[in-house]
Amino acid sequence: MSQLFSPITLRDVTFNNRLVVAPMCQYLAEDGNANDWHLMHLGQMSMGAGGLVFTEATHVSPEGRITPKCLGLWSDDNERTLKRVVDFCKTHGVARMGIQLAHAGRKASNRTPLNGAGPLAANDGAWQTLGPSAVAYGDWPAPRALDDAGLAMVKQQFVTATERSARIGFDTAQIHCAHGYLMHQFLSPLSNRRNDGYGGTIEGRMRFPLEVFEACRAAWPENLPLGVRVSASDWVDGGLTVDEIVEFAKALKEKGCDYVDVSSGGNDPGQKITLGPGYQVPFAERVRQEAGIPVMAVGLITDPHQAEAIVSSGKADFVAIARGAMDNPRWAWHAARALGAETEYPPQYIRCRPDSWRAAPAVMAPAAE
């Protein structure tokens, strides 16, 4: 039997398979509001790309957005428009729905990729970014270091967005602590130069992300799983290491974290990443084995047999895909066929399932009058 297509239960939520559609920024929101693009994008993913589909990074405040076109969840309008999308997915799709809650920190106030990326100019609406320390990302504008009031503000923004996520009806939520965004900035010695209790050793650097997680866990329904996405390496000498992420994962588990989504990089423009099929899987395997917590593996996982081997060998509990799902929003259907497994289809599409071709009765022509 396929382990990739076996169910797994976290708290009271059962996922029908171990395939996850990873968050993918779309840069098409208006004032943080979801629209028809998001309904189309997430709606098609919910039909057959995986057993769990995440929103793109959904930002907890306007100043926390990567770009002015990023999705948000700080207002009633944000909540209403995103609920429309999620209601559609849960009514017509077959996947569980997850949200990734994020704050970009010093990597905020950017142009969208199709507009050249990089920091916004003042006449394009640039805003003051925030960070653990006044340390810039490369040659970008330096952020303002968060003081005690700023830390309390950001924590409350995450809590409020968590409460909104629960009202919308998400099955799981994930705190974004990866890819060089604010929580990762606190974790990494490259961006966190604080000399108070929130800096220094990994115990100090993970203090604020743990406080945010703990506050969100208290605001999130007890019966629903809550996880974290991490970067297990900065891929820079002197940066964040997988050893430190293992310690972070252990502390998260003690505070009620249900899974860790293990990625890497994003916090320093000088990173040197060694790419290859499943190149981040060893990070996920170490976190799983040493922290004793369920993990998601992601990164150049493109083949169903590759994904099956990752799960069946115990390297990860879930496999997350992104570009593969964009290329083929029915990735799970085709992976199940390749592995001789079964997966769920929406009733409206059941006629395209291979076994239905053989079982379906012949279509009769109308009787002659």
The label of the residue with tokens 């309904």 reads 39
For the segment 112-136, the average pLDDT, to the nearest whole number, is 96
DSSP H helices, 49-181, are: 76-92, 148-168
User: Is residue 210 domain-resident?
Assistant: yes
CB 196 within 8 A of CB 186: no
User: Is residue 3 domain-resident?
Assistant: no
User: Is residue 129 domain-resident?
Assistant: yes
Q: For residues 147 and 45, what is the distance between their CA atoms, to the nearest angstrom?
A: 40
- pLDDT given for residue 354 in this prediction: 83
- pLDDT given for residue 365 in this prediction: 43
Two structure tokens written together for 4: 């990739």
The residues with which 298 forms a beta bridge, in sequence order, are 320
DSSP H helices, 169-196, are: 182-187
Q: For residues 128 and 142, what is the distance between their CA atoms, to the nearest angstrom?
A: 9
- pLDDT given for residue 334 in this prediction: 96
Two structure tokens written together for 28: 């098409």
User: Is residue 273 domain-resident?
Assistant: yes
What's the pTM? 0.95
- pLDDT given for residue 362 in this prediction: 45
Interhelix angle for 242-254 vs 281-291, to 10°? 50
User: Is residue 149 domain-resident?
Assistant: yes
For the segment 192-202, the average pLDDT, to the nearest whole number, is 98
Residue pLDDT, tens place only, 225-276: 999 999 999 999 999 999 999 999 999 999 999 999 999 999 999 999 999 9
- pLDDT given for residue 29 in this prediction: 98
CB 31 within 8 A of CB 61: no
- pLDDT given for residue 369 in this prediction: 40
CA 6 to chain centroid, in Å, comes to 22
- Residue range(s) defining the domain that contains residue 55: 8-357
Residue pLDDT, tens place only, 277-312: 999 999 999 999 999 999 999 999 999 999 999 999
- pLDDT given for residue 357 in this prediction: 63
E strand or H helix at 229 = strand 226-231
- pLDDT given for residue 308 in this prediction: 98
pLDDT band at 358 (very low <50, low <70, confident <90, very high): low
Instruction: Please name which of 72, 76, 68 lies closest in space to residue 33, comparing C-alpha atoms.
Output: 72
Q: For residues 57 and 145, what is the distance between their CA atoms, to the nearest angstrom?
A: 23
The residues with which 318 forms a beta bridge, in sequence order, are 296
pLDDT at 366 over 80: no
- pLDDT given for residue 353 in this prediction: 86
CATH number at residue 160: 3.20.20.70
- Indicate if the alpha-carbon torsion angle 42, 48, 49, 50 is positive or negative: positive
Q: Looking at the 3D structure of the chain, how many domains does it have?
A: 1
The label of the residue with tokens 């306007």 reads 62
CA 321 to chain centroid, in Å, comes to 11
Active site residues: 181
Interhelix angle for 148-168 vs 207-219, to 10°? 30
Residue pLDDT, tens place only, 33-76: 999 999 999 999 999 999 999 999 999 999 999 999 999 999 99
Q: Position 152: which residue type? A: A
pLDDT at 330 over 60: yes
For the segment 318-333, the average pLDDT, to the nearest whole number, is 96
- Indicate if the alpha-carbon torsion angle 56, 266, 233, 306 is positive or negative: positive
User: Is residue 362 domain-resident?
Assistant: no
User: Is residue 211 domain-resident?
Assistant: yes
The residues with which 19 forms a beta bridge, in sequence order, are 319
For the segment 204-227, the average pLDDT, to the nearest whole number, is 98
The pLDDT mean for the chain works out to 95
Report percent pLDDT > 90 for the chain. 93
Q: What is the dihedral of CA 184, 299, 52, 16, to 10 degrees?
A: -130
- pLDDT given for residue 368 in this prediction: 44
E strand or H helix at 285 = helix 281-291
Q: For residues 302 and 321, what is the distance between their CA atoms, to the nearest angstrom?
A: 7
User: Is residue 369 domain-resident?
Assistant: no
- pLDDT given for residue 359 in this prediction: 52
